[in-house]
Amino acid sequence: MRIAIDAMGGDHAPRAHVDSALAAAAEWPDTQLILVGNPEKIQPLLGSDAPGNISIEPASEVIESDDEPVKAVRRKADSSMVVAGRMVKEGRADAMISSGNTGALMATGLLVVGRMAGIERPGLAAMFPTLDNRGLLALDMGANMDAKPEQLLQYALMGSIYRSKVHGIAKPRIGLLNVGTEAAKGNELTKAAFDLFEQAPINFVGNVEARDVLEGVCDVIVCDGFSGNILLKALEGAASSIFKLLREELTSSLKAKLAAAVLKPSFRRVRDRMDYNEYNGAPLLGIKGLVVKGHGSSDAKAMKTAIRQTRTAIGNRLIASLADEFSGK
Protein backbone atom coordinates (compact mmCIF):
# COMPACT_ATOMS: atom_id res chain seq x y z
CA MET A 1 0.00 0.00 0.00
CA ARG A 2 1.06 3.57 -0.72
CA ILE A 3 0.54 6.47 1.67
CA ALA A 4 1.21 10.08 0.64
CA ILE A 5 2.31 12.22 3.57
CA ASP A 6 2.08 16.01 3.46
CA ALA A 7 5.62 16.49 4.74
CA MET A 8 5.29 20.27 5.06
CA GLY A 9 2.13 20.47 7.22
CA GLY A 10 1.90 20.83 10.99
CA ASP A 11 4.00 22.36 13.75
CA HIS A 12 6.89 19.90 13.47
CA ALA A 13 7.23 19.66 9.69
CA PRO A 14 9.12 18.27 7.99
CA ARG A 15 11.18 16.64 10.79
CA ALA A 16 8.28 14.73 12.45
CA HIS A 17 7.13 13.41 9.07
CA VAL A 18 10.55 12.21 7.98
CA ASP A 19 11.21 10.53 11.33
CA SER A 20 7.82 8.82 11.41
CA ALA A 21 8.20 7.69 7.80
CA LEU A 22 11.57 6.14 8.64
CA ALA A 23 10.09 4.30 11.63
CA ALA A 24 7.04 3.19 9.64
CA ALA A 25 9.11 2.06 6.66
CA ALA A 26 11.15 -0.19 8.94
CA GLU A 27 8.13 -1.65 10.72
CA TRP A 28 5.93 -2.14 7.64
CA PRO A 29 8.09 -3.13 4.65
CA ASP A 30 4.92 -3.67 2.54
CA THR A 31 4.07 0.03 2.81
CA GLN A 32 5.36 2.73 0.46
CA LEU A 33 5.72 6.07 2.30
CA ILE A 34 5.68 9.02 -0.08
CA LEU A 35 6.88 12.27 1.51
CA VAL A 36 5.31 15.14 -0.42
CA GLY A 37 7.11 18.49 -0.23
CA ASN A 38 10.29 20.40 -0.85
CA PRO A 39 13.05 17.84 -1.60
CA GLU A 40 15.72 20.27 -0.46
CA LYS A 41 14.22 20.29 3.00
CA ILE A 42 13.27 16.61 3.15
CA GLN A 43 16.33 14.93 1.62
CA PRO A 44 18.89 16.15 4.19
CA LEU A 45 16.72 14.84 7.04
CA LEU A 46 16.16 11.56 5.24
CA GLY A 47 19.87 10.97 4.72
CA SER A 48 21.52 9.07 1.89
CA ASP A 49 20.66 5.54 2.97
CA ALA A 50 16.87 5.84 3.23
CA PRO A 51 15.06 2.52 2.78
CA GLY A 52 13.56 1.65 -0.58
CA ASN A 53 9.98 2.06 0.58
CA ILE A 54 10.39 5.78 1.22
CA SER A 55 10.24 8.21 -1.68
CA ILE A 56 9.88 11.95 -2.19
CA GLU A 57 7.21 13.58 -4.35
CA PRO A 58 8.28 17.16 -5.07
CA ALA A 59 5.91 20.05 -4.24
CA SER A 60 7.16 23.62 -4.31
CA GLU A 61 4.51 25.37 -2.21
CA VAL A 62 3.19 25.12 1.35
CA ILE A 63 -0.29 25.93 2.65
CA GLU A 64 0.20 27.87 5.87
CA SER A 65 -2.00 27.55 8.95
CA ASP A 66 -3.40 31.05 8.48
CA ASP A 67 -4.13 30.69 4.75
CA GLU A 68 -7.78 31.01 3.76
CA PRO A 69 -8.61 27.34 3.05
CA VAL A 70 -10.50 27.34 -0.25
CA LYS A 71 -8.40 30.12 -1.77
CA ALA A 72 -5.19 28.37 -0.73
CA VAL A 73 -6.22 25.05 -2.25
CA ARG A 74 -7.24 26.77 -5.51
CA ARG A 75 -4.14 28.98 -5.81
CA LYS A 76 -1.42 26.76 -4.41
CA ALA A 77 -1.80 23.96 -6.92
CA ASP A 78 1.76 22.81 -6.26
CA SER A 79 1.48 22.80 -2.47
CA SER A 80 2.40 19.63 -0.60
CA MET A 81 -1.19 19.17 0.59
CA VAL A 82 -2.79 19.58 -2.83
CA VAL A 83 -0.18 17.39 -4.54
CA ALA A 84 -0.82 14.64 -1.96
CA GLY A 85 -4.55 14.99 -2.64
CA ARG A 86 -3.94 14.73 -6.37
CA MET A 87 -1.97 11.51 -5.87
CA VAL A 88 -4.99 9.97 -4.12
CA LYS A 89 -7.34 11.26 -6.79
CA GLU A 90 -5.18 9.80 -9.58
CA GLY A 91 -4.70 6.46 -7.85
CA ARG A 92 -0.97 7.02 -7.27
CA ALA A 93 -1.54 6.74 -3.52
CA ASP A 94 -4.09 4.76 -1.47
CA ALA A 95 -4.37 7.49 1.14
CA MET A 96 -2.99 10.84 2.20
CA ILE A 97 -2.19 12.15 5.68
CA SER A 98 -1.76 15.82 6.56
CA SER A 99 -1.24 17.67 9.86
CA GLY A 100 -1.61 21.02 8.13
CA ASN A 101 -4.42 23.61 7.96
CA THR A 102 -7.63 21.70 8.77
CA GLY A 103 -9.88 23.87 6.63
CA ALA A 104 -7.54 23.50 3.69
CA LEU A 105 -7.46 19.73 4.17
CA MET A 106 -11.26 19.65 4.03
CA ALA A 107 -11.12 21.77 0.87
CA THR A 108 -8.49 19.43 -0.58
CA GLY A 109 -10.78 16.49 0.14
CA LEU A 110 -13.75 18.12 -1.52
CA LEU A 111 -12.13 20.00 -4.39
CA VAL A 112 -9.13 17.80 -5.25
CA VAL A 113 -10.09 14.25 -4.24
CA GLY A 114 -13.84 14.72 -4.56
CA ARG A 115 -16.98 13.89 -2.60
CA MET A 116 -18.13 10.31 -2.41
CA ALA A 117 -21.29 9.56 -4.41
CA GLY A 118 -24.37 9.57 -2.18
CA ILE A 119 -22.79 11.71 0.54
CA GLU A 120 -24.30 15.15 1.04
CA ARG A 121 -21.58 16.71 3.15
CA PRO A 122 -18.32 15.07 4.26
CA GLY A 123 -17.63 15.11 7.99
CA LEU A 124 -14.38 15.52 9.89
CA ALA A 125 -13.89 12.93 12.60
CA ALA A 126 -11.68 12.98 15.68
CA MET A 127 -10.75 10.28 18.15
CA PHE A 128 -11.24 11.24 21.81
CA PRO A 129 -9.55 9.43 24.68
CA THR A 130 -12.00 7.77 27.08
CA LEU A 131 -11.66 6.54 30.66
CA ASP A 132 -12.11 2.93 29.53
CA ASN A 133 -9.31 3.35 26.94
CA ARG A 134 -11.50 2.26 24.02
CA GLY A 135 -11.51 5.75 22.57
CA LEU A 136 -14.43 7.47 20.91
CA LEU A 137 -14.91 8.55 17.30
CA ALA A 138 -16.61 11.94 17.21
CA LEU A 139 -17.95 13.60 14.09
CA ASP A 140 -18.53 16.12 12.65
CA MET A 141 -15.80 18.28 14.20
CA GLY A 142 -16.25 21.27 11.94
CA ALA A 143 -16.63 20.41 8.25
CA ASN A 144 -20.36 21.14 8.18
CA MET A 145 -21.45 24.03 10.40
CA ASP A 146 -25.19 23.99 9.66
CA ALA A 147 -25.91 20.30 9.37
CA LYS A 148 -29.28 18.77 8.51
CA PRO A 149 -30.75 15.70 10.27
CA GLU A 150 -30.14 13.51 7.20
CA GLN A 151 -26.50 14.57 7.19
CA LEU A 152 -26.16 13.59 10.86
CA LEU A 153 -27.55 10.19 9.92
CA GLN A 154 -24.88 9.83 7.22
CA TYR A 155 -22.26 10.64 9.87
CA ALA A 156 -23.71 7.94 12.11
CA LEU A 157 -23.54 5.37 9.31
CA MET A 158 -20.02 6.37 8.24
CA GLY A 159 -18.80 6.42 11.85
CA SER A 160 -20.24 2.98 12.43
CA ILE A 161 -18.50 1.56 9.37
CA TYR A 162 -15.21 3.23 10.35
CA ARG A 163 -15.22 1.82 13.88
CA SER A 164 -16.10 -1.59 12.56
CA LYS A 165 -13.54 -1.66 9.70
CA VAL A 166 -10.64 0.17 11.36
CA HIS A 167 -11.07 -0.72 15.03
CA GLY A 168 -12.77 -4.10 14.71
CA ILE A 169 -15.82 -3.25 16.83
CA ALA A 170 -18.66 -5.60 15.86
CA LYS A 171 -21.69 -3.41 16.58
CA PRO A 172 -20.41 0.09 17.31
CA ARG A 173 -22.63 1.97 19.80
CA ILE A 174 -23.77 5.24 18.23
CA GLY A 175 -24.66 8.21 20.45
CA LEU A 176 -26.19 11.56 19.52
CA LEU A 177 -24.64 14.56 21.28
CA ASN A 178 -27.43 16.33 23.12
CA VAL A 179 -28.34 18.42 26.16
CA GLY A 180 -30.06 15.58 28.00
CA THR A 181 -30.49 11.84 27.67
CA GLU A 182 -34.29 11.81 27.27
CA ALA A 183 -35.65 11.30 23.75
CA ALA A 184 -37.52 14.63 23.61
CA LYS A 185 -34.48 16.75 24.53
CA GLY A 186 -32.55 19.06 22.28
CA ASN A 187 -32.86 21.57 19.50
CA GLU A 188 -34.79 21.08 16.27
CA LEU A 189 -31.81 19.40 14.63
CA THR A 190 -31.20 16.76 17.30
CA LYS A 191 -34.89 16.02 17.80
CA ALA A 192 -35.28 15.27 14.08
CA ALA A 193 -32.00 13.33 14.01
CA PHE A 194 -33.09 11.24 16.99
CA ASP A 195 -36.12 9.99 15.05
CA LEU A 196 -33.99 9.15 12.01
CA PHE A 197 -31.38 7.33 14.12
CA GLU A 198 -34.06 5.17 15.73
CA GLN A 199 -35.16 3.91 12.31
CA ALA A 200 -31.66 3.39 10.94
CA PRO A 201 -29.66 0.12 10.74
CA ILE A 202 -27.25 1.24 13.45
CA ASN A 203 -26.76 0.32 17.11
CA PHE A 204 -28.20 3.62 18.37
CA VAL A 205 -27.79 4.01 22.15
CA GLY A 206 -29.60 7.37 22.38
CA ASN A 207 -28.70 10.89 23.40
CA VAL A 208 -25.35 11.45 25.11
CA GLU A 209 -24.54 14.51 27.21
CA ALA A 210 -21.23 16.32 26.83
CA ARG A 211 -20.25 15.47 30.41
CA ASP A 212 -20.43 11.72 29.64
CA VAL A 213 -18.47 11.80 26.39
CA LEU A 214 -15.19 10.75 28.02
CA GLU A 215 -16.79 8.01 30.11
CA GLY A 216 -16.94 5.47 27.30
CA VAL A 217 -20.73 5.29 26.94
CA CYS A 218 -20.56 4.93 23.14
CA ASP A 219 -18.13 4.19 20.29
CA VAL A 220 -19.23 6.98 17.95
CA ILE A 221 -20.74 10.32 18.87
CA VAL A 222 -22.53 12.32 16.20
CA CYS A 223 -23.10 16.07 16.13
CA ASP A 224 -23.16 19.06 13.80
CA GLY A 225 -19.80 20.70 13.03
CA PHE A 226 -20.42 23.72 15.25
CA SER A 227 -21.29 21.75 18.38
CA GLY A 228 -18.52 19.26 17.65
CA ASN A 229 -15.95 22.00 17.52
CA ILE A 230 -17.25 23.47 20.81
CA LEU A 231 -17.10 20.01 22.41
CA LEU A 232 -13.59 19.21 21.20
CA LYS A 233 -12.12 22.57 22.17
CA ALA A 234 -13.91 22.70 25.53
CA LEU A 235 -12.48 19.29 26.46
CA GLU A 236 -9.00 20.34 25.33
CA GLY A 237 -9.29 23.73 27.07
CA ALA A 238 -10.43 22.26 30.38
CA ALA A 239 -7.57 19.75 30.36
CA SER A 240 -5.04 22.42 29.53
CA SER A 241 -6.36 24.74 32.28
CA ILE A 242 -6.30 22.04 34.92
CA PHE A 243 -2.73 21.01 34.08
CA LYS A 244 -1.73 24.69 34.14
CA LEU A 245 -3.23 25.12 37.62
CA LEU A 246 -1.61 21.89 38.82
CA ARG A 247 1.77 23.06 37.57
CA GLU A 248 1.29 26.36 39.39
CA GLU A 249 0.26 24.75 42.66
CA LEU A 250 2.86 21.98 42.59
CA THR A 251 5.76 24.37 42.14
CA SER A 252 4.56 26.85 44.76
CA SER A 253 6.72 25.48 47.59
CA LEU A 254 9.79 23.30 48.04
CA LYS A 255 7.73 20.66 49.82
CA ALA A 256 5.21 20.56 46.98
CA LYS A 257 8.01 20.40 44.42
CA LEU A 258 9.64 17.40 46.12
CA ALA A 259 6.38 15.49 46.42
CA ALA A 260 5.44 16.37 42.85
CA ALA A 261 8.78 15.02 41.62
CA VAL A 262 7.89 11.62 43.09
CA LEU A 263 4.57 11.72 41.29
CA LYS A 264 5.95 12.78 37.91
CA PRO A 265 5.33 9.37 36.29
CA SER A 266 1.74 9.37 37.60
CA PHE A 267 1.08 12.83 36.18
CA ARG A 268 2.59 11.78 32.88
CA ARG A 269 0.30 8.74 32.70
CA VAL A 270 -2.77 10.91 33.35
CA ARG A 271 -1.64 13.36 30.71
CA ASP A 272 -1.01 10.54 28.23
CA ARG A 273 -4.43 9.06 28.85
CA MET A 274 -6.03 12.43 28.13
CA ASP A 275 -3.78 13.02 25.14
CA TYR A 276 -5.49 13.35 21.81
CA ASN A 277 -2.21 12.55 20.06
CA GLU A 278 -2.41 8.99 21.36
CA TYR A 279 -5.29 8.50 18.95
CA ASN A 280 -3.79 10.50 16.10
CA GLY A 281 -5.14 10.15 12.57
CA ALA A 282 -8.78 11.11 12.13
CA PRO A 283 -10.45 10.56 8.78
CA LEU A 284 -12.34 13.01 6.63
CA LEU A 285 -15.34 10.77 5.96
CA GLY A 286 -17.43 11.08 2.81
CA ILE A 287 -14.53 11.67 0.41
CA LYS A 288 -13.86 9.37 -2.58
CA GLY A 289 -10.39 8.55 -1.31
CA LEU A 290 -8.83 8.16 2.11
CA VAL A 291 -7.87 11.57 3.56
CA VAL A 292 -6.53 11.50 7.11
CA LYS A 293 -5.97 14.46 9.40
CA GLY A 294 -3.12 14.43 11.89
CA HIS A 295 -3.17 16.77 14.90
CA GLY A 296 -1.35 20.03 14.12
CA SER A 297 1.09 19.43 16.95
CA SER A 298 1.86 15.85 15.88
CA ASP A 299 5.35 14.65 16.69
CA ALA A 300 6.97 11.62 15.04
CA LYS A 301 5.31 9.20 17.47
CA ALA A 302 1.85 10.70 16.86
CA MET A 303 2.44 10.63 13.10
CA LYS A 304 3.38 6.97 13.27
CA THR A 305 0.07 6.33 15.04
CA ALA A 306 -1.69 8.12 12.18
CA ILE A 307 0.17 5.95 9.66
CA ARG A 308 -0.85 2.80 11.56
CA GLN A 309 -4.55 3.84 11.50
CA THR A 310 -4.29 4.64 7.82
CA ARG A 311 -2.73 1.25 7.03
CA THR A 312 -5.56 -0.52 8.84
CA ALA A 313 -8.16 1.53 6.98
CA ILE A 314 -6.56 0.69 3.64
CA GLY A 315 -6.09 -2.98 4.53
CA ASN A 316 -9.73 -3.34 5.56
CA ARG A 317 -11.00 -1.57 2.47
CA LEU A 318 -12.71 1.26 4.34
CA ILE A 319 -13.41 3.42 1.31
CA ALA A 320 -14.91 0.53 -0.69
CA SER A 321 -17.18 -0.35 2.25
CA LEU A 322 -18.36 3.24 2.57
CA ALA A 323 -18.92 3.49 -1.19
CA ASP A 324 -20.98 0.28 -1.10
CA GLU A 325 -23.16 1.69 1.69
CA PHE A 326 -23.90 4.97 -0.03
CA SER A 327 -23.73 4.18 -3.74
CA GLY A 328 -27.40 3.24 -4.05
CA LYS A 329 -28.64 6.31 -2.21
| Residue with Cβ nearer a copy of itself (77 or 263) | 263
Contact status: 183 vs a copy of itself (CB under 8 A): no
Residue from 44, 215, 320, 324 binding a copy of itself (CB under 8 A):
215
Which residue's CB is nearer to a copy of itself, number 60 or number 240?
240
DSSP string across 231-287 = HHHHHHHHHHHHHHHHHHHHTSSHHHHHHHHHTHHHHHHHHHHT-GGGG--EEEETB
Taking a C-beta distance cutoff of 8 angstroms, is the pair 10, 99 a contact? yes
Cα torsion angle, 288, 290, 291, 293, sign: positive
Q: Is 65 in the site for a copy of itself (CB under 8 A)?
A: no
Which residues, 6 or more positions from 53, have their beta carbon under 8 angstroms from its beta carbon? Answer: 25, 29, 31, 32, 33
C-alpha distances (whole Å) from 179 to each of 199, 225, 299 are 21, 16, 35
Any contact of residue 74 with a copy of itself (CB under 8 A)? no
- Per-residue x/- track, 16-55, a copy of itself (CB under 8 A): ----------------------------------------
- Report which of 286, 304, 295, 179 is spatially closest to residue 233, judged by C-alpha positions: 295
Task: Indicate whether 322 belongs to the interface with a copy of itself (CB under 8 A).
Answer: no
Give phi and psi for 139, each to the nearest 5: -155, 145
Q: In this structure, what DSSP letter does residue 111 have? A: I
Positive or negative, the CA dihedral 237, 238, 242, 243 is negative
Sign, Cα dihedral of 101, 226, 127, 212: positive
Nearer to a copy of itself, 39 or 296 (CB): 296
Confirm or reject binding of residue 134 to a copy of itself (CB under 8 A): no
Instruction: Report the residue from 4, 87, 235, 300 that binds a copy of itself according to the rule CB under 8 A.
Output: 235
- Does position 202 interact with a copy of itself (CB under 8 A)? The reply is no
Per-residue interface string for the shown chain with a copy of itself, residues 238-267, x marking contact by CB under 8 A: xxxxx-xxx--xx-x--xx-xxx-xx--xx
| Residue 63 is a binding residue for a copy of itself (CB under 8 A) | no
- Binding-site ranges for a copy of itself (CB under 8 A): 131, 142, 145-146, 177, 179, 186-188, 190, 209-215, 223-227, 229-242, 244-246, 249-250, 252, 255-256, 258-260, 262-263, 266-267, 269-270, 273-274
